[in-house]
Chains A and B, each alone.
With several copies, the nearest count.
Chain A
Amino acid sequence: MKKIINDPNEAVQDMLEGLVMAYPQKLQRLAETTVVMRKNVPVTGKVGLISGGGSGHEPAHAGYVGKGMLDAAVAGEVFTSPTPDQVLEAIKAVDSGNGVFLVIKNYTGDVMNFEMAAELAEAEGIQVEKVIVNDDVAVEDSSFTTGRRGIAGTVFVHKIAGAKAEEGAELSEVKRVAEKVVANVRSMGMALTPCIVPASGKPSFQLDENEMEIGIGIHGEPGIERKRIGTAMEIAHELTEKILKDREFSGDVAVMINGLGATPEMELYILNKNVQKILSEKGIHVYKTYVGEYMTSLEMAGCSLTLLQLDEELKSLLDAAADTIAFRQ
């Protein structure tokens, strides 16, 4: 394992410390927790917005804490949900009396831990609502399954629900736009290499030198198909088609080309060229594009494509100002 770390068991704590040391004017930790918050929480009159999950997806989620997006991010151990007590502390810290909204990626652990925290907070008289993001079309979705995973599309939920909350909208309105994003966002990922969880020291799965895996999850959960590595154009086709088969997109969409960690920006831009070409051939208009590392999986090589169907409301919320470490516009 080649990593710039000290004690693997302290990696998350060390990271959080190094993060707030880097941006002390913007971020603070909630003492004795793994919560990273804006400097001025609770923001008077504003619904508090919280996300979080296992670590290893940086800049998610602490990178999205700031004006126009999250009020706090709760970090678990690498690829492990934070526990309810941590989430509860975050809820209490960001509630200004207008209630708190939780953005949860659809993993059993995350859902259960955040839901428990919500129950504990409600027991303390705090109004809590939530949305469960499940944008990954690689997984079958039905009430008899675990359901789809939440991946990079989550960042659009942060952005848009965050913009709504920043406007001073009430909790039910924040929930409404968050659910609207979830209904309109789809993603599909692929990997070229595995990643290594610091505490385990071993790759989470194996891929041959000329193999790629389509539909893989951001913790290395198996995908749809393992096959010979294709060109950027073939990969663009595969990801786009899987998404478009799941849902129709038309008119204006937002595109996110997300790097999983080790893939150079050069490759993400090459993929973007091919994706944009395919979309334009299909008459889908790209309103806005985001290329970069938004939801990573440690040092995994690979990427994901996310499409978000826009309407006028989503466009204006997507365009609203945001001032966070990892997302600023």
Chain B
Amino acid sequence: MEINATLAVQWIEKTNEKIQENKEYLTSLDRPIGDGDHGLNMSRGFKEALEKVKAGNYPTPADVFKDVAMTLVSKVGGASGPLFGTAFLKMSVATAGQQVLNESAFVKGLEAALDGIKQRGKATTGEKTMVDVWEPVVEWLQDNGFEPEGLLAEAEGAMNATKNLTATKGRAAYFKEKSVGHIDAGAASSYYVFAALAEVLGGK
């Protein structure tokens, strides 16, 4: 399984599709323990990112990731903008110059993205943030390689597991124990990112 610029664009396309379909749902997750804008933020950002990369003609996936990163950074806003922006930016830097990414090169890119998110957000696992999806999924990929169905299941499980966590980072942290019982919004949108990857890789 190899990823070229076209597939990278397809990944963004699929991600956007899922985000738009679940815009209301994402916002509803952000309402009880946040400020109720996550769906709006993500839908605005990915729509613009897709428009940007669809219009371009990219030699490498890294170039796609860079434009996605810059668009997300300037269009999403809030906390998730710099987080997803940083993720794609680090992915771009880690995979720079390579026309086609093999499995190990792409996973290295995802590792860099995860590190970027953790650094930017000063968060670690267990804090009820998107890190709680990114870290287990990246680790699972390191151990198991690209297996679409396994990837999807891992991402979904990680997302659902945020429900029982108490938030200690982001807006949800102000709700302290009351944050328990709600899936984290950024974990859910991260799940869509990986679900889209699984579909693209699975050839759907």
A83 contacts B73, CB within 8 Å? yes
Per-residue interface assignment for chain A, residues 61 to 94, with 1 indicating a CB less than 8 Å from any chain B CB and 0 otherwise:
0000000000000001101111111100000000
B164 within 8 Å of A by Cβ? no
Residue of A nearest to B34 (CB): A221
A219 within 8 Å of B by Cβ? yes
B174 contacts A221, CB within 8 Å? yes
16 sample A-B contacts, Cβ–Cβ < 8 Å, listed by A number: A81-B78, A81-B79, A83-B74, A83-B77, A108-B121, A108-B171, A112-B81, A112-B82, A113-B81, A113-B82, A115-B82, A116-B85, A144-B168, A145-B173, A204-B35, A221-B171
Residue of B nearest to A107 (CB): B171
A108 contacts B169, CB within 8 Å? yes
CB-CB under 8 A from A139, the residues of chain B are 174
A287 CB, nearest partner CB in chain B, Å: 32
> What band does the interface of chain B fall in when counting residues whose beta carbon is under 8 Å from A?
20 to 34
* Residues of chain B from 100 to 134 with CB closer than 8 A to chain A in the complex: 120-121
CB-CB under 8 A from A146, the residues of chain B are 168-171, 173-174
A73 to B81, CA, bound (A): 20
A85 to B77, CA, bound (A): 10
Binding site for A on B (CB under 8 A): 35-37, 40-41, 70, 73-79, 81-83, 85-86, 120-121, 168-171, 173-175, 178
A79 to B30, CA, bound (A): 14
A108 contacts B35, CB within 8 Å? no
CB-CB under 8 A from B35, the residues of chain A are 79, 204, 219
- Which applies to chain B's interface (DSSP): helix, strand, loop or mixed? helix
Per-residue interface assignment for chain A, residues 106 to 124, with 1 indicating a CB less than 8 Å from any chain B CB and 0 otherwise:
0111001101100000000
| With A79-B35, A108-B121 as contacts: A222 and B174 at CB distance below 8 Å | yes
A109 contacts B168, CB within 8 Å? no
> What band does the interface of chain A fall in when counting residues whose beta carbon is under 8 Å from B?
20 to 34
Binding site for B on A (CB under 8 A): 76-77, 79-86, 107-109, 112-113, 115-116, 139, 144-146, 149, 199-200, 204, 217, 219, 221-222
Among A79, A84, A204, which residue has its beta carbon within 8 angstroms of that of B74? Answer: A84
B89 CB, nearest partner CB in chain A, Å: 9
B180 CB, nearest partner CB in chain A, Å: 14
**Seed contacts A109-B77, A109-B79, A112-B81; 9 additional CB < 8 Å A-B pairs:** A79-B35, A81-B79, A115-B120, A116-B73, A144-B168, A145-B173, A146-B169, A146-B173, A221-B171
B171 CB, nearest partner CB in chain A, Å: 7
A144 CB, nearest partner CB in chain B, Å: 6
Among B70, B73, B79, which residue has its beta carbon within 8 angstroms of that of A108? Answer: B79
A77 contacts B77, CB within 8 Å? yes
A91 to B204, CA, bound (A): 45
CB-CB under 8 A from B74, the residues of chain A are 83-86
CB-CB under 8 A from B120, the residues of chain A are 112, 115-116
| With A112-B83, A146-B174 as contacts: A81 and B168 at CB distance below 8 Å | no
CB-CB under 8 A from A219, the residues of chain B are 35
B123 CB, nearest partner CB in chain A, Å: 9
B81 contacts A83, CB within 8 Å? yes
Residue of A nearest to B174 (CB): A221
Residue of B nearest to A82 (CB): B77
Residue of A nearest to B36 (CB): A200
The CB with the most chain B CB atoms within 10 A, among A85, A116, A199, is that of A116
Q: Which 8 A-B pairs have the closest CB atoms?
A: A112-B82, A146-B173, A221-B174, A85-B74, A109-B79, A108-B79, A109-B78, A83-B74
